[in-house]
């Protein structure tokens, strides 16, 4: 029998996915289900044919400088690949795949969850009830902002941005503005209810709520800085289910402190799992623990898509979702 490709799986995955992996490859499963250290990643790069990685595995240029490298494919469990230095991987002859599509709806659903929670003060309200501080209904108590009919600005009109737009436009009657540097107007965006803005400035100034759906790249890291936040209309809200480092956290806190920003809903953070102390104490900020794709169904589909990429790679076939 031909030897099976060796695959290191860095984190525990849904049992059905692990079963398929065991049936197909010579698999090493992570034993402690914690983020792998740079040293452990380097050891893996030298010893296995492929690595099924997640967002918590940081394949920096230093890690990828391991020698010798045996790994030929990093199959990332997630659509974002900012945890992998792509030029360095390419330079070492390592292919990279991801899991787009299967997590679009879940992430869009979670974006709407954050939006609703922030504008309707749901996190704050829940804390009040659980804390035994609720003194009863009153006409002027804990008033949030109406969601229906507001203007939502979507930065990044790819799969997830468009799925959010559909929910907001057709479900909540929102006016939806969109911006991506390379987006072109047409039926695909119009069908999602998106009016494309000519510039980011226009979108920021015209939106009541801005939601981030762009990848973290050299162009977008730190994009939401003090200048950009100041361009938002006073009393606007910011939602982030993309990547934490797109927002400059100090600038976000300052905009919340000054009241220019009315609230924020965050699922992702620059230094996960660390969350800035100055955000933790704020009632107008909803903080979730990177739950975008966290449903049983989606995590299985992500796993199966990663397996398909591994299979195709070792069969010499085209990868279903190759990044490089
Ligand atoms: C995943 C995500 O849970 O797919 C992504 O890019 O951020 C999340 O949905 C995470 O990446 C798992 O590796």
Over residues 96-138, the pLDDT tens digits come to 999 999 999 999 999 999 999 999 999 999 999 999 999 999 9
Average pLDDT on 294-303 reads 98
Q: Residues 6 or more apart from 263 whose CB is under 8 A from it?
A: 118, 119, 237, 238, 256, 284, 285, 286
Asked if pLDDT for residue 1 goes beyond 60, the answer is no
CA nearest ligand 1 atom 1, residue: 78
Gap from CA of 103 to ligand 1 centroid (Å): 8
**Span 193-243, pLDDT tens digits:** 999 999 999 999 999 999 999 999 999 999 999 999 999 999 999 999 999
Ligand 1 contact, 308 CB (< 6 A):
no
The secondary structure of 184-242 as a DSSP string is --SHHHHTTTEEEPSSHHHHHHH-SEEEE-S---TTTTT-B-HHHHHHSPTTEEEEE-S
Ligand 1 site-directed mutation target among 10, 58, 78, most atoms within 8 Å of CB = 78
pTM for the predicted model, two decimal places: 0.97
Ligand 1 site-directed mutation target among 51, 80, 299, most atoms within 8 Å of CB = 80
Q: What is the pLDDT of residue 126?
A: 98
Ligand 1 atom nearest residue 98's Cα:
4
Ligand 1 contact, 269 CB (< 6 A):
no
Tokens encoding 137 = 């209904």
CA nearest ligand 1 atom 2, residue: 78
Is 175 exposed, middle or buried, given 0-12, 13-18 or 19+ CB atoms closer than 10 A? middle
Ligand 1 site-directed mutation target among 33, 36, 55, most atoms within 8 Å of CB = 55
Q: Which residues are catalytic?
A: 243, 272, 290
Ligand 1 contact, 108 CB (< 6 A):
no
DSSP assignment letter at 8: E
CA nearest ligand 1 atom 9, residue: 293
Percentage above 90 pLDDT, the chain: 97
Q: 3-class DSSP state for residue 257?
A: helix
Among residues 60, 51, 64, the alpha carbon closest in space to that of 7 is found at 51
Asked if pLDDT for residue 66 goes beyond 90, the answer is no
Ligand 1 atom nearest residue 107's Cα:
9
Q: What share of the chain is helix, strand, coil (3-state, %, to 5)?
A: 40, 15, 45
Ligand 1 contact, 79 CB (< 6 A):
yes
Neighbours of 200 (CB within 10 A): 18
Q: What is the pLDDT of residue 104?
A: 98
Residue 197 CA to its chain's centroid (Å): 23
């Amino acid at each position: 029998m031909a030897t099976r490709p060796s695959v290191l799986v860095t984190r525990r995955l849904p049992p059905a996915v692990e079963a398929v992996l065991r049936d197909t490859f010579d698999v090493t499963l992570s034993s402690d289900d914690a983020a792998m250290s740079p040293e452990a990643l380097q050891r893996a790069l030298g010893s296995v044919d492929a690595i099924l990685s997640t967002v918590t595995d940081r394949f920096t240029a230093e890690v990828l400088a391991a020698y010798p490298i045996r790994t030929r494919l990093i199959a990332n469990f997630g659509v974002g690949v900012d945890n992998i230095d792509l030029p360095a991987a390419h330079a070492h002859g390592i292919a990279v795949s991801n899991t787009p599509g299967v997590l679009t709806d879940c992430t869009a659903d979670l974006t709407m969850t954050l939006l609703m929670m922030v504008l309707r003060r749901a996190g704050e309200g829940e804390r009040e009830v659980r804390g035994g501080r609720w003194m009863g209904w009153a006409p002027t108590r804990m008033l949030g902002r109406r969601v229906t009919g507001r203007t939502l600005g979507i930065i990044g009109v790819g799969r997830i941005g468009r799925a959010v737009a559909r929910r907001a436009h057709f479900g909540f009657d929102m006016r939806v503005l969109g911006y991506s540097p390379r987006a072109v107007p047409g039926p695909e965006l119009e069908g999602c209810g998106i009016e494309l803005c000519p510039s980011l400035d226009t979108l920021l100034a015209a939106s009541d709520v801005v939601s981030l759906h762009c990848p973290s790249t050299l162009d977008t890291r730190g994009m939401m800085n003090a200048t950009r936040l100041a361009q938002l209309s006073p009393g606007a809200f910011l939602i982030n289910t993309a990547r934490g480092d797109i927002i400059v956290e100090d600038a976000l806190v300052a905009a919340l402190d000054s009241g220019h920003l009315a609230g924020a809903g965050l699922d992702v953070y620059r230094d996960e799992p660390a969350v800035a102390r100055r955000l933790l104490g704020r009632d107008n900020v909803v903080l979730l623990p990177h739950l975008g794709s966290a449903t049983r169904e989606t995590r299985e589909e992500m796993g199966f898509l990663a397996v398909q990429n591994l299979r195709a790679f070792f069969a010499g076939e085209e990868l279903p979702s190759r990044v490089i």
